[in-house]
Amino acid sequence: MSTGPFMYPNVTSIPAQPSSSPGVERGGKATKGEFDQVFEKALDKGKAVSNLNALDDALGHVKQPLKFSAHASQRMRDRKINLDQATVARVSEAVDKAEAKGVDDTLVLTGDAALIVNVKNRTVITALDRNSLLGNVFTNIDGAVIV
């Protein structure tokens, strides 16, 4: 049958739908459609990822190790700054705290040095020793953590 420029095909049923009312079995019980099933699976996956992140946080796992840029490594050699494992661990914890507060670039002060750290990349950008701290102005930071 044709009316004007449009043709209307004779459609008797929508593909992949039961012949009875959608979402209702013959016994009158409600069933879930394909969309509902896919949606629930997606929600379940989201819960699994969320639970995994919560478990990771509860166990205290470090997201990424702390990295040192080439510039920071050179400055540490030039200024004879040596960080032991305990200090690096404290700096890493300081970066975690800064991240929790939404800081992008932080100044981390240790007993012997000052480190500028990009929080997102967990990368030490530069380092100064205790003797070089006096009179310096630290720019392009939005937080500071003392360890």
Decide if pLDDT at 50 tops 60. Answer: no
**C-beta of residue 122 within 8 angstroms of C-beta of residue 65:** yes
| Main-chain dihedrals φ then ψ at residue 85, nearest 5 degrees | -60, -35
Ranges of each domain in the chain: 10-59, 67-146
| Per-residue pLDDT tens over the stretch 132-142 | 888 899 999 99
Decide if pLDDT at 61 tops 60. Answer: no
pLDDT recorded at residue 29:
56
Cβ neighbors of 26 (< 8 A, separation 6 or more) are 20
Sign of the CA dihedral running 18, 24, 29, 30: positive
Q: What Å distances lie between residue 30 and 17, 20, 25, 40, CA to CA?
A: 14, 12, 6, 16
Decide if pLDDT at 28 tops 60. Answer: no
| Per-residue pLDDT tens over the stretch 99-119 | 999 999 999 999 999 999 999
**3-class DSSP assignment, residue 124:** strand
* Exposure b/e, 91-129, CB count within 10 A at least 16 = b: bbbbbeebbeeebebbbbbbeebbbbbbbeebbbbbbbe
**C-beta of residue 75 within 8 angstroms of C-beta of residue 136:** no
Lowest-confidence pick of 10-24, 53-67, 125-139: 10-24
